[in-house]
Amino acid sequence: MHQKFTYHQLITEGQLDSFGHVNNAKYLEIFEAARWDFITSSGFGLAVVKAEMIGPVIMDVHIKYKRELNNREEIKVVSQCLEVKNRMIITLQQEIINQEGRLASHAIFSVGLMDLECRKLITMTPRWLVAMGIDIKEE
């Protein structure tokens, strides 16, 4: 099983829509903040992306909205890689859990690693796999 990462966030007024709950597009921003948090803390942040000219790209996303998120609610995002396909694509699951501990949103992402100069996908490096919480001994 691959490593799980947990990210905490407070929902704020700027994330709300006219209905008073979090706008659907803001969920993707929350998921992205959680991803950058764990890859940065795992040694593959923006400084590495700029220096090595390789970085993550989202190839596909499927998201389900289960419960509303409201203003000033404390949430957590739990992220975990489910699968690595041919060392080219990672299937990443992310879940937003509300302050009552209930699932608010569930998303599955297909993530690749891109050469930013050539603008094409590359085979995932050991450093990238470790940053994504994958035990490279198992791969």
Residue 139: predicted pLDDT? 53
Burial of 123 (0-12, 13-18, 19+ CB in 10 A): exposed
Residue 62: predicted pLDDT? 98
Place of tokens 């060392």: 87
Residue 84: predicted pLDDT? 95
Structural domain count, the chain: 1
Residue 97: predicted pLDDT? 98
DSSP string, 50-103: HHHTEEEEEEEEEEEE-S--BTT-EEEEEEEEEEEETTTEEEEEEEEE-TTS-E
Task: For residue 139, tell me if it sits in a domain.
Answer: no
Task: For residue 77, tell me if it sits in a domain.
Answer: yes
pLDDT (tens, 9 = 90+) of the chain, 139 residues, equals 699 999 999 999 999 999 999 999 999 999 999 999 999 999 999 999 999 999 999 999 999 999 999 999 999 999 999 999 999 999 999 999 999 999 999 999 999 999 999 999 999 999 999 999 998 775 5
Domain CATH number, residue 25 = 3.10.129.10
pTM as predicted: 0.94
Task: For residue 137, tell me if it sits in a domain.
Answer: no
Residue 31: predicted pLDDT? 98
Contacts of 96 (CB under 8 A, 6+ apart): 27, 30, 31, 69, 75, 76, 77, 103, 104, 105, 106
Range of the domain at 98: 4-131
Burial of 79 (0-12, 13-18, 19+ CB in 10 A): buried
Task: For residue 24, tell me if it sits in a domain.
Answer: yes
Residue 57: predicted pLDDT? 97
